[in-house]
Amino acid sequence: MMKIAFFNNKGGVGKSTAAINVAYAMSKLGKKVLVVDCDSQMNTFRFLSDEQDMEIVQNTRYENIKTACYNQGIDTLAKKFFNFDFMLLDFPPTLDELTSQIISNCDYVFVPIELGTFAISGIANVTDAIAATEAKFGGCFVSKFDRNNPIDHELDKQLRQTLKVMSTRIPSSRVIKNSISYRQTAYEYMKWRTAAGAFDLLADEIVQICKGGRNHA
Where along the chain do its domains lie? 2-211
Q: Note the pLDDT of residue 50.
A: 85
Looking at the chain, the whole-number percentage of residues with pLDDT higher than 70 is: 97
Asked: is 2-211 a CATH 3.40.50.300 domain? The reply is yes
Q: Is the pLDDT of residue 122 over 90?
A: no
Contact partners, residue 32, CB within 8 Å, separation at least 6: 64, 65, 83, 84, 85, 86
List, in sequence order, every residue forming a beta bridge with 31; answer none if it has no partner.
none
Rounded to the nearest 10°, the torsion over CA 216, 9, 149, 164 is -10
* Measured distance between the N- and C-terminal CA atoms of the chain, rounded to whole angstroms: 27
Confidence of residue 215 (pLDDT cuts 50, 70, 90): very low
Cα gap 216→77, rounded to integer Å: 31
Confidence bin at 71 (pLDDT 50/70/90): confident
- Residue 45: which residues within 8 A CB-CB, separation 6 or more? 35, 37, 52, 54, 58, 67, 68, 69
Lowest mean pLDDT among 58-67, 73-82, 102-111, 155-164: 73-82
pTM for this structure? 0.93
Q: Is 74's pLDDT higher than 90?
A: no
